[in-house]
Each structure stands twice: as structure tokens, then as C-alpha cells.
Amino acid sequence: MDLGKRAAVAIPALVALLLAWQLLVPPVVGLANNGDFAKVASFYSLVPERAGDEFIHVVTKWRVDPARFWDSEFRTTEHLHGAVTRLLGGDIRWQGVTHGAVMIAAIALLAASIGWRALLAIPLLFDLAYSAYFNSMYMDAAAMVWLALSIGAMIAGRWWLACAAAVLFFGAKSAHAIPGIVLIGAVLVHKRWAIAAIELAAMVWTVTRISPECGGQAMYNLIFTKAAAHATDGDFQRIALRLGVREDELRWKGTTAFDANVPAHSRPWIVEFAHRIPTTKMIDLYWHDPHLVWRFAANDLREEAHRIRPIHLGNYDRSSGREPGEKAGGPLSWWSAFRSWLIRIAPWHLPVLYAGIGAWLVARRRLLTLPALLWAMALMEFGISTLADACETSRHLILFHWLTDALILYFGVTSLPGESRE
């Protein structure tokens, strides 16, 4: 067995051991619930064994309670991972197994293509900032792993596998599906017309399935939380009225859609609000008031981007004896810690980095290559995270950070000697 074939076996095996150590062996590492788990767990009537614990600790044991069934009408690829957890008894570590298995497949494809240089992916793409998501029911987890598999399959020339993974990536979360248009562009470059058509259909289906409640909540937070925080009273009133907010609703300035005693809890009201103020109105506002885009982006770059690991969501089960919100450490957390520190002290390095990579792509005429794909998707992820919602922006930037690390991995791998597949 030559070195390349040995790498294709040894590196995935090493990753499997590392993930098993993190996700399956006590003290188990995961990510506490911010409320989003219900969209998956309640569909399978799963409830935590210790009610309320899931918001401060990772809860590994979930039980079936038919009385707690709830269909949020939200469909996501994460439901596939949740189905395995439900069928196998409700231990959230099955989420870790299924998410981890997809990532192991992705690293196996990468190792088969570039050999031992794929070892560089371990500290970057398997940092606890990312792998902690595997023991969770966040839709971002499904988006992350299926995107990784789709890119890995494209690098390896497995186009139909890339297509299947891309469809599951698109189905994970609408906010991530839109940047996925770049994947379709990559397929078109290689003249895979049928695959591009399938992926486009999957993307359109996901984007058009956004419920009015979710869209209305996001718009409420953009207006009453984010715009309110970056505008004077007069400026806020001008922006809100231009978008279609009624004068009697201006008093909700400074609230979020999740606060108590706000009208957003009323389904008829939030649905009407979503229809009254569609996304097109916000896009028109950004077009005519670009300074608002600058304010949002600059603030999130300065205040949110450095929180790569959510500060209020812990990584441990209560049985571990760890404090609520405590973060897991160790050798596979140093990279995210370094990047968080660097963004905190010098947030300007990110736009400089992306401007530099963009200039390099143009100068080298590499606009239809893997680094261009990663670069474009990362910028779109940042734009959507900062301009399309207002709450938990730092957590919503997770795929932006993952794609940034994938870009760093690309340049690290291609700087080493040996053949590499573009």
C-alpha cells in the first residue's frame, strides 16, 4: 500500500478516534440548547430527562413523550439525524455519530485526493468550535457536515455523491442554502447539467419553504432590535415607517421577537407582519441606505465575529460536574481560541484577508476554482448572517468561520510539496 492509500485509511481512522473521544466518552462534549432543538426534538416527541437542563448543559438522555409532540412545520435535513436518535433510544450521542460519520467520509475523500497533507484539516476543521455542534440538534450542524462532504466529493471527482450531499446541505437551513448557489456554479463550470438542475431545485425548494413565522421573526428583530440599536430615534422612525411599520408599533423599539409581551408571539400578527414587510423591502432599504449595511457589518465584525464559540451555551452534561456554560478545552480548541483572540484585537484583518484573497484570485485568473468557491460562500454567509437577522449573530456566523478555515486549509495544503487536485 503506497503512502497515498495509507493516508486515505489512516487519517479518517484518526479522525474517528478523536471524534469518539470528544463526543461519546464521558465527559461528553456537545452544545447546549438555545431553543432551536424543539424544531427537531418535538417532531419526534423527544424531551430531555431533566427539564430545563438542556438550556444550561448538554443533555445526553432524551425520552419519548407523545404528549409533547409538536410539528413546527419546519423541515430540515437535521430531521434525518434526529430520526436515527429517536429510533435508537433518544441518546443525543447518536447525533454525534451521524454528524461525525458524514465528516469522516468527507476527510476520507480529501485524504484520498491529497494524501498526508489532509492532516492539516484536523486542527482547523475539527476544532471543538465545530465538532461540539455534532452532539446537538442545530440545523447548522447538518449544514456544516453535508457541505463538507459535497466539497470533498467534488475535489475527489465524485459528482453524484457531491450532488446528493449538496441537496442535503441545501435542505439543512434556508440561510445557508442561498450561499449554496456557488456550489451550483462550480457544477456548471464542469458542465454537469443534470446535477446542477437537481441542486438548483433543492435550493429553490428550501428557500421557498421559509415559514411566515420565521420570516416575520427575523424581520421583527432586524427592525426593532438591530436597526433600533444603530439609529437615533428620528432615524429609526424614518427607517421603520419606510419599511411599513405602523406608528403604533414604534413603541416596540429595542425589543426582540422572543421577549415577553410583544405582539410577535401572536401567530396571526407575525404572519401579517411578514406579508406586510417582505424581504424585498429590506433589500430596497439596504440599496438606498448603504450606510446601514456598513453599520451592521462593522458592528458585527467588531462585536460578534470573535465569539466563534457561543459564550452562553455550555459543552458539558450536568453529570460531568462542570459549571453551566463551561467550555471544553484541550488540544483541539487552540485554533478557535487563537482566531477568536485575533479577531477580538484586530477585527480589521478579516476584510483585509478577504480583499487580499479576492485580488489574488483575479490576478491569477482563478475565479472558477476551489478557493474562489470557498471565498464567495464565506462572504455570502457573513452577509446573510449580519443583514438578515439580529439575534445570535455570533452563532449564525459559524459557517463563515468554517469556510474561512477551509480557505486557510487550502492555502496551507497547496503551499506544501506534492501534487494536489484543484
Q: How far apart are CA 23 and CA 7, in angstroms?
A: 23
The x, y and z cell numbers of residue 206, run together, are 428550501
The x, y and z cell numbers of residue 265, run together, are 408571539
Chain centroid to CA 277: 26
pLDDT at 421 over 70: no
Kindly report whether the global pTM for this prediction surpasses the value 0.85: yes
Q: How far apart are CA 254 and CA 31, in angstroms?
A: 28
Q: How many CA atoms lie within 13 A of 381 on its CB side?
A: 26
Which amino acid belongs to residue 169? F
Q: What is the pLDDT of residue 4?
A: 65
pLDDT at 420 over 70: no
Q: What is the pLDDT of residue 212?
A: 83
User: Which position has the higher pLDDT, 51 or 294?
Assistant: 294
* Confidence band for 213, pLDDT divided at 50, 70 and 90: confident
Contacts of 45 (CB under 8 A, 6+ apart): 64, 65, 66, 67, 68, 69
Strand 46-48, strand 62-64: pairing: antiparallel
Contact 131, 309 (CB under 8 A): no
Q: What is the pLDDT of residue 311?
A: 86
Contacts of 164 (CB under 8 A, 6+ apart): none
User: For the ranges 132-141, 308-317, 371-380, which has the lowest average pLDDT?
Assistant: 308-317
pLDDT at 332 over 70: yes
136: alpha, beta or left? (left if phi > 0; alpha if psi -120 to 50): beta
pLDDT tens profile 56-107: 899 999 999 999 898 887 889 999 999 999 999 999 999 999 999 999 999 9
Q: How far apart are CA 388 and CA 251, in angstroms?
A: 22
Handedness of CA 39, 144, 96, 342 (dihedral sign): negative
- Residues pairing with 239 in the sheet: none
Question: Comparing C-alpha atoms, which of 317, 268, 265 is closest to residue 24?
Answer: 317
Mean pLDDT computed over 201-212: 89
Contacts of 72 (CB under 8 A, 6+ apart): 38, 39, 42, 43, 211
How many CB atoms lie under 10 A from the CB of residue 411? 11
Mean pLDDT computed over 121-140: 96
Contact 77, 142 (CB under 8 A): yes
Q: Length of the chain, please?
A: 422
Query: Strands, E, within 155-237: which ranges?
Result: none
Q: How far apart are CA 386 and CA 303, in angstroms?
A: 11
Q: How far apart are CA 366 and CA 369, in angstroms?
A: 6
pLDDT at 360 over 90: yes
Contacts of 138 (CB under 8 A, 6+ apart): 31, 36, 37, 78
* Confidence band for 2, pLDDT divided at 50, 70 and 90: low
Q: What is the pLDDT of residue 54?
A: 82
pLDDT tens profile 12-31: 999 999 999 999 999 999 99
Q: What percent of the chain has pLDDT over 70?
A: 98
Q: Which H/E stretch holds residue 46?
A: strand 46-48
Q: How far apart are CA 253 and CA 269, in angstroms?
A: 17
Which amino acid belongs to residue 166? A
Q: How far apart are CA 243 and CA 223, in angstroms?
A: 9
* Confidence band for 419, pLDDT divided at 50, 70 and 90: low
